Chains A and B, each alone.
Chain A
Amino acid sequence: MRRTETAGLTAALEARDVQVRFGEQAVLRAFSLLLRAGEKAVLTGPSGCGKSTVFRCFLGFATPEAGSIRIDDTELTAGTVWRLRQRVAYVAQEPDLGVGTAAEAIERPFHFRANAHLRRNPDRVPELFERFHLDRDLLHKDVGALSGGEKQRVALISAILLDRPIFLLDEVTSALDRASKQAVVDYLRSRQDATMLMVAHDPEAFSFVSQVVTLPGNPKMAGAA
């Protein structure tokens, strides 16, 4: 794995001793992570160990009962989350693109006030479709009719178009064929400016990352240092 010189750079993503509990079950315990601006890491571990929960914490969708979450050196709170989310591009595992065509799904975020200044970004869609081996006819197809791999790439393109410096990518290549997966990996490698935290079951495919964080498999008591 590649090591980068990071001292002095902004802590883009930071979790400190985070504990999350769903009911009686501790999903994350004493989880800590630090990614400085431009660093890339893979988060791995067996199913159910809390990888997606880490992402939910960074997005404010799960609230830790202990510990703190920081984005760009700022603590994530109910007051700061709305601004900090605009720093993060998120692609969910098995993304739900809502209703309508793929083109409408890609256009939708640009109707939000926070993204109003990016309204011309969808002009880059043809170039990105080509890069990720997607047929442009897919744009007019209903999202419900897209395959898992097509949905993943459309969701990734939607995230890229938001021009955000931090990426949270939850198994974005899990449903892709070899060529498409390579195209996605090549793109992610090329984004040296971006901070990336990626969930993957095959960290070796992401050889350009500087850290591989493995969460232990105990579903009742998962944590990582």
Chain B
Amino acid sequence: MNRIVDIGVWQLAAAYLLLAFPFAIMLWYRIPMIGETAMSLVRMTVQLILVGLYLQIIFRLNILWLNALWLVVMVTVADVSIVRSCSLRLGRIALPLFVALIAGTSIPLLLFTGLILRRTNLLDAQYAIPIGGMILGNCLRADIVGIRTFYESIRSTEKAYLQSLAQGASLHEAIRPYVRKATQAALAPTVATMATIGIVALPGMMTGAILGGAGPVTAIKYQIAIMISIFSGTAITVALGIRLTTRNSFTGYGALDATVFRDRSKK
């Protein structure tokens, strides 16, 4: 297999020409998201350039603690992003969710690099950073769905929730149906993706491996391993995230503490 062809600056600039299509559609139908789209494109470009430069240094140095630090930075950004997306209070949720994200990312990542790839350096930058990033990215999506579903469901059916407490449920018994619903909602997209992978779309890691020069068989082996790691990571992070955040989100009497929401006015 050939090594991947690099893209020159002018060739990359040419990629932006493709934006003529979505912008033309937006102008034609007067879709009010041109400014937002332009801002997102600028952010994407700047962020990726900075990350690319930073990762180049990390890859060149390949120092264990620096690789670990980069993963922690990624987890922290994901953590804040999830809490904000769920309209919850950062001070109450961020720390327990951080622990859940660290566990949900590091357990499948270390098993991947240690058990599957048999690397002696478990946090080798070439593997740990892209694989960790893929697991974490999926954990982020799953946690937004799972954590939001959990808290919003209890808030919207508060009467039924309090009734189960009144009927003698412990806190864990009372929240169990909501944990079930939230975890199912969070895992469903990954389950659906696994069922259609390779048919509906060629998955990211497989594409990356092929572009990087790997053969299709090697690429699918990586893809299978990463899908299982992602699924395992999302399950860990959602279940643990809900479990750990409940410690700060309920009163000692078992009622959902309304101050955990940023928008307290909503009932």
Contact = CB atoms under 8 A, between A and B. Distances in A.
B253 A78 contact: yes
Interface stretch (B114-122, B123-131, B158-166, B238-246): B158-166
Contacts of A32: none
B163 A112 contact: no
The binding surface of chain B is classed by DSSP as loop
Contacts of B45: none
A38 B167 CA distance: 21
B170 A95 contact: no
A217 interface: no
Interface in A109-147: 109, 111-115
Contacts, number: 68
B252 interface: yes
Q: How large is the interface on B (under 10, 10 to 19, 20 to 34, 35 or more residues)?
A: 10 to 19
A60 B254 contact: yes
B169 interface: yes
A82 B168 CA distance: 7
A196 to B, nearest CB: 15
Given A60-B255, A63-B253, A96-B157, A158 B170 contact: no
A82 B166 contact: no
Nearest to A94: B159
Contacts of A79: 252
B251 interface: yes
A46 interface: no
B81 to A, nearest CB: 31
A59 B166 CA distance: 7
Interface of B: 157, 159-160, 162-170, 173, 251-255
